Structure 1
């Protein structure tokens, strides 16, 4: 297969990460989950007791935020491994304030573009197809019902022993995140005109993977 960049956007919990990291392994491509970077920055702000209602306080943290993305489960921030702490409840509650901050997004977009200069990457996020990699060889938009996404996240947290883990709280967080993602001023979540729309609500992971592999095969 020729070296390409595959850009993937979609709603929170729609299966982007679970599916695309398996595709990346099968095709021996780099897998980059940009959400990990935003989660790590949110955790960094929490550690520094930032007031998330104050954009200036959030923005001040950028100059001190030095990170190295290892994989979707590992990111170093100022040489400290954050690990699964980026999936803590407080991070999920406050990431929306970070994600809508224009200066944070500009910082992240530049970092993500630098990471993907050499092709052969699968990159997932919220504005990858429209902002970060608008010229990617393949663009995919994942979607899924809110209820199905909340159940998936609940099951994922249970497997990873992440607490607290309450379905109703997860459902509310996802609904709030959708609202922020789709209506923020910069990098709003939207379907690129040339993106392939894929609704995973009633599809198994295996089925979605097969559909995507066939799509990539047709790029040759």
Structure 2
């Protein structure tokens, strides 16, 4: 089979990570979750007591962000494994300020393109199909109802022992994240004209995996 890049965008909590990680394992492809990079950067800002209302303070952390992306969505920052800490409440509350910072986004896009140069990658995020890898051989857009996404994230947090874990807070965070993602100045979440649209609201993970594998088989 020829080596390809698969670019995946979609709303927060729509199943991109869990589905495409399994697909990557089945096809022996590299899995790059760009959301992990933004979460790790946000955690670094928190640790360094950055004022999230200051774009300059956020930008200044770029020089401190020495990261090593480990396959399957783990990341080392300055040699430290951030682990489940990137999924905590404070990160979720502040990631929107990092995601809309133009300097951070430019840095991330350049890093993600470099990571994808050798093909055989599944890259997921918010602007992968439209900005990072617009020439990818397959582009997919995941979507899901807000309520279903909040329930999934709540269950995921419970499995990972992430606290606090309140459904109503998660629902509000997802709604706010959707608004930021779709309306930010740079790298806004959009459906690329040639993306395959996949609504996962009423599908379990195995059903979605099967659909994606069939789609990949069509183009390989």
| Same topology, TM > 0.5 | yes
Can you list the C-alpha shifts for 1:18-61, whole angstroms capped at 9, x where unaligned?
A: 10000000000000000000000000000010000010110011
CA positional deviation for 1:73: 4.2
Query: Which residue of the partner structure matches residue 197 of structure 2?
Result: 197
Provide the C-alpha distance between the structure 2 equivalents of 1:187 and 1:119, rounded to a whole number of angstroms.
22
Q: Structure 2 unaligned runs (5+)?
A: none
What number of residue pairs does the alignment pair up?
A: 220
Provide the C-alpha distance between the structure 1 equivalents of 2:162 and 2:183, rounded to a whole number of angstroms.
29
> Which stretch has the larger CA shift, 140-149 or 63-72?
63-72
Distance of aligned partners of 1:6 and 1:73 in 2 relative to their CA distance in 1, 3 Å threshold: closer
The answer to whether structure 1 residue 19 and structure 2 residue 19 are counterparts is: yes
Partner SS state of residue 142, structure 1: strand
Q: Structure 1 unaligned runs (5+)?
A: none
Q: How is 1:54-203 mapped onto 2 (pairs within 5 angstroms)?
A: 54-203=54-203
Can you list the C-alpha shifts for 1:149-176, whole angstroms capped at 9, x where unaligned?
A: 0000000000111110000000000000
Following superposition, which runs of at least 4 residues in structure 1 exceed 6 angstroms of deviation?
A: none
Provide the C-alpha distance between the structure 2 equivalents of 1:166 and 1:147, rounded to a whole number of angstroms.
13
Whether the aligned pair in 2 keeps the contact of 1:36 and 1:72 (CA below 8 Å) is: no
Provide the C-alpha distance between the structure 1 equivalents of 2:186 and 2:46, rounded to a whole number of angstroms.
23
CA positional deviation for 1:71: 3.0
Provide the C-alpha distance between the structure 1 equivalents of 2:171 and 2:94, rounded to a whole number of angstroms.
15
Whether the aligned pair in 1 keeps the contact of 2:33 and 2:73 (CA below 8 Å) is: no
Whether the aligned pair in 2 keeps the contact of 1:181 and 1:189 (CA below 8 Å) is: yes
Partner SS state of residue 218, structure 1: helix
CA positional deviation for 1:204: 1.1
CA positional deviation for 1:88: 1.0
TM-score (norm 2): 0.99
